[in-house]
A = this chain, B = another copy of it.
Amino acid sequence: MGHETFMAEALKEARKAFEEGEIPVGAVVVCENRIIGKGYNQTQKLHDVTAHAEMIAITAAANYLGAKYLNDCTMYVTLEPCIMCAGAIGWAQLGGLIIGSLDEKKGFLRVKEPVLHPKTEILTGILSIESKEMLLEFFQNLRQ
């Protein structure tokens, strides 16, 4: 399966967040072409700043594998991870990080010091329009 197929699954996770009134971000962790962990933003519901989609997906994937390193896995996330999540992705040594839309304000790519593992491959812009549109719709609804 291609990148768009898995990103579409991450977008489904983001949609769950949207429907629960959370900033719509979703993530899935893929290993050997199978989704072994997924998550969506639940910071409001759980009153917990650490409950980002990526954190939940990493914990789920590690739980599935019974191992904390995810070298052979790839994460698909609808929005560029923040520094916290990038730090977690770094610790988990994910093999790949596929990003939907970019987050110029809060994203980790602005940080000059290395945050990810040096071997993590990064790809951006997969289904970015779909991700951006969902975020835009969310924030437009908030303002009304």
Contact = CB atoms under 8 A, between A and B. Distances in A.
A1 interface: no
Q: Which one of A50, A69, A91 has the greatest number of beta carbons of chain B within 10 Å?
A: A50
Given A83-B115, A111-B113, A113-B110, A88 B50 contact: yes
Interface string A108-124: 00111101000000000
A26 interface: no
Contacts of A87: 82-87
Contact of A50 (B46, B55, B67): B55
A91 B92 CA distance: 21
9 contacts: A47-B62, A49-B88, A50-B58, A83-B111, A84-B84, A84-B85, A87-B87, A111-B111, A112-B113
